[in-house]
Amino acid sequence: MKKDSFLTVCMNPGFQKTLSFPALIPDTVNRTGEYRLDVSGKGINVSRVLSQLGKEVCHLTQLGGFLRPFFLELCEKEGLRLEWVESGSSIRFCYTLLDRCEKSVTELVEESERVGEGTESRLLEAFSGLLDDFSTLIISGTKAAGFTDNLIPEMVREGRGKNLRIILDIRGQDLLKSLPYEPDIIKPNLYEFISTFAPDMISQNKIISANLKESVSDICRELYKKFHCALVLTRGGEPVWYAEKGELEEYSFDPVEPLNTTGSGDAFTAGFAAALEDGASLREAVINGVRCGALNAALFKPGII
């Protein structure tokens, strides 16, 4: 097994179009000459930042459609190592609209097309063939339509069998069904965490709780008791909550004035994972994650530091 080597997995690749406007005005034509197009998806962003941190990383995904050669060309230009299987599913587009006047970041996300028959089995076969070369497995994001809820748990099971460090930035059934295989660390954001473990605390897409931290602490203790996993919860510009043995702690930091927050959570994941591989404690890894997330937020291009 190679030292400081990472296998990142995301089943929902995309192109990210970023457009910046002096002011974004509704119900009219908005024009800009400041824009860019990048390969994206949470796994791509994590891989890109890990590479910038000097780590060896390979990204596994599914690709299809007539834009696949262009996607691969952009990955090659960035020096990203990519392993992929044919899915017959066109690569989606996502859009980030930056309003410099309001200092706002608006994301428009296309849902993925359904992957073709046999994609899941091909992906699992490719995944199994890669595991011996890596020390850390990071699975991020949602699945494209057409994958079953057994896919990610099966990957976690196999990764655990190979004694990889496993970091999951996922939610919902993907996370719930993976927990019995005892991933080392789960790292959703706070909203994803609450919607997964306490959905009754969500109302009109907002967290409603008079004792939020106490409720999260109770869930942390139960998760550690059952599954022995550490937890990291990012909360935007608010202090990060983390728990190593079920006891919730927090790390406060000075907020930065962001330019583009798209990919900041992925930059956090990469910085956090890289620090753990270098022997950092959980708190030290959180601090490095915050550093990388802040560096990303200050830049126009998403998913970099």
pLDDT tens-digit readout, 235-291? 988 999 999 999 999 999 998 889 999 999 999 999 999 999 999 999 999 999 999
Flag the least confident range among 1-15, 110-124, 153-167: 1-15
Amino acid at 11: M
Per-residue pLDDT, 134? 95
Q: For residue range 150-173, what is the model confidence (pLDDT) as tens digits?
A: 999 999 999 999 999 999 999 999
- Dihedral in degrees, nearest 10, Cα atoms 185, 189, 194, 195: -110
Round to whole Å and give the CA distance between 273 and 168.
11
pLDDT tens track for 190-206: 999 999 999 988 887 88
CA distance 255 to 258: 9
Query: Which structural domains are found in the chain, ordered by start?
Result: 5-24+34-297 (3.40.1190.20)
Q: In the prediction, which pLDDT does 135 show?
A: 95
Reported as a single tens digit per residue, the pLDDT across 24-33 is: 999 999 999 9
- From CA 59, how far away is CA 8, in angstroms rounded? 5
